[in-house]
Amino acid sequence: MPKEAIDRYHDLLNDQVAADTSAELYEKLKPAGLYFGDRPICTVIRPHFYLLEDWQYVKRETEILLGAFARAHAACLIHDDLRAQLDLEPYEEAFFNLDIGTAVPWTTSRLDSFFIAAERELHFVEYNAETPAGMGYEDVLSELFMTLEPMKQFQEHYAIQSMPMMSKLLAVLMRGYKDWGGHGMPQVAIVDWGHVPTLNEHEIIRRSFERHGIRAVLADPRALEYRSGHLWAGNFRVDMIYKRVLCSELVRQMGMDNAIVRAIKDKAVFMSNSFSAKLLAKKASLALMSDEANGHLFDDQQRAAIYAHIPWTRRVSERKTQYQDQEVDLIPFITEHRDRFVLKPNDEYGGKGVVIGWEASIEEWNETLRSALTDSYVVQEKVNVVYKDFPAYIDGKLDISPRFVDANPYVFDGHNVHGCLTRLSSVALLNVTAGGGSVVPTYLLQRKQ
């Protein structure tokens, strides 16, 4: 049915309808804050659809894996030999113990994957455990698309359901604040650098908080002060930080003795996600999960989910390891078989530093490998990506052409999947931060009788 539904949607379009729909979409994006810096967040005129049973499969399998991630996180808090596999920075070692004995360290996270529904093939390539972006964009974009004429006509034949996330985000933040020991209605700061292109989404979320009666501001961490037992953004008392700034950038820019860290140490402010969430945000967390040496951490169901859904991943080092039940010498093996693998920096985001072996020259691959032996990198096996046709209005006419599509379910309270970020790209690296990508709204789909 997905192909049948997509074909029906595309049949509603022609050059004039595409022109009108695209014009209406672009007219509404700017006032809605649906821009990434100065680029529109969406450049196509069809959303992404999941059959209800396909989405239920993604949700079920993801939640099994989340139990395994929780076990890995708990074990890493206790065992320094496991933490060593994550290749932590000194500041991360210093910070993670601030969370020991407290509630779940992440109220929200996101697992990035590729999902081929027909084959039930689901592969997770990254865990965004620090504070994932995109919920605000998805929610507002879903509302906007419902006003477009092709969507109105499409709903004569199909029932569609969005998966709004911002109210759920606020609910888990309030629960986390209460579990931390907070009382009453907290005042919230969404903390990030004043120049980042995601400020539009921060403002979407801030307005959502305000509509629900929670006072909230956007704040640059350099403007925060810790005084008189409270964290302040000017004259605004901050009880909760909904953190978007990355720990690595915060420490790199401001050192470890900054107002945020001092307030957290004194338990004067609640921050989500908290510092120990960074353990699983490392790319090496997938190496820890998929390495046969760590299988004892998980139960049978979790081991099966890891084997099925996490691609073979290892930290780049001089070592021997198992690959498809055979022992291999890692560096010579991935040197010889670069067409099977991707190299990723352990602690970057937005596609920075990623080298795709089947697209790289021998020289680029080998040079990156040499760097990876002194810096912190992982190597990850290639997974099958997904192509879908999407319509756009380009050069005066309707253009329907294939794009890469990913599937990035959001996680609440560390275990409950709800909602999804869907990104499109014409290149194999799907990341809006890297440029050239598009976000589309995500709906569940059922045919009307």
Write out the DSSP string of 13-73. Answer: --HHHHHHHHHHHHHHHTTTT-EETTEES---S--EEEEHHHHHHHHHHHHHHHHHHHHHH
- Nearby residues of 366 by Cβ (< 8 Å), 6 or more positions away: 335
Domains of the chain: 2-281+386-447 (3.40.50.1760), 312-381 (3.30.1490)
Fill in the amino acid letter for 155. Answer: Q
- List all residues 6 or more positions away from 4 whose beta carbon is below 8 Å from its beta carbon: none
Give, in order, the Cα–Cα distances in Å from 232 to each of 95, 187, 262, 291. Answer: 22, 10, 12, 44
State whether the Cα torsion 108-114-117-121 is positive or negative: negative
CB 46 within 8 A of CB 66: no
CA distance 129 to 132: 7
At residue 102, the pLDDT reads 61
Burial class (CB in 10 A: 0-12, 13-18, 19+), 63: middle
Structure letter (DSSP) for residue 428: S
Rounded to a whole number, what is the distance in angstroms from the first to the last CA of the chain?
Answer: 13
Residue type, 365: W
Measured N-to-C along each axis, helices 166-180 and 135-145 cross at an angle, to the nearest 10 degrees, of: 150
293: which 2 tokens? Answer: 């040496």
pLDDT reported for residue 435: 41
Q: CA-to-CA distance for 6 and 15, rounded, in angstroms?
A: 17
Nearest to 46 by CA among 435, 393, 374: 393
CB 109 within 8 A of CB 127: yes
Give dist(CA 331, CA 354) in Å, integer: 17
Which residues lie across from 420 on neighbouring strands?
409
Q: In the prediction, which pLDDT does 2 show?
A: 80
Name the β-bridge partners of 387: 404
3-state DSSP assignment of residue 386: strand
**What confidence score (pLDDT) does residue 427 get?**
61
pLDDT in tens, the chain (449 residues): 688 999 999 999 999 999 999 999 999 999 999 998 888 999 999 999 999 999 999 999 999 999 999 999 999 988 999 999 999 988 888 888 777 656 567 789 999 999 999 999 999 999 999 889 999 999 999 999 999 999 999 999 999 999 999 999 999 999 999 999 999 999 999 999 998 888 999 999 999 999 999 999 999 999 999 999 999 999 999 999 998 788 889 999 999 999 999 999 999 999 999 888 889 999 999 999 999 899 999 999 999 999 999 999 999 999 999 999 899 999 999 999 999 999 999 988 777 889 999 999 999 999 999 999 999 999 999 999 889 999 999 999 999 999 999 999 999 999 999 999 999 987 655 454 444 479 999 999 988 86
Residue 98 has a pLDDT of 77
For 342: left if phi > 0, alpha if psi spans -120 to 50, otherwise beta; the answer is: beta
**pLDDT recorded at residue 105:** 75
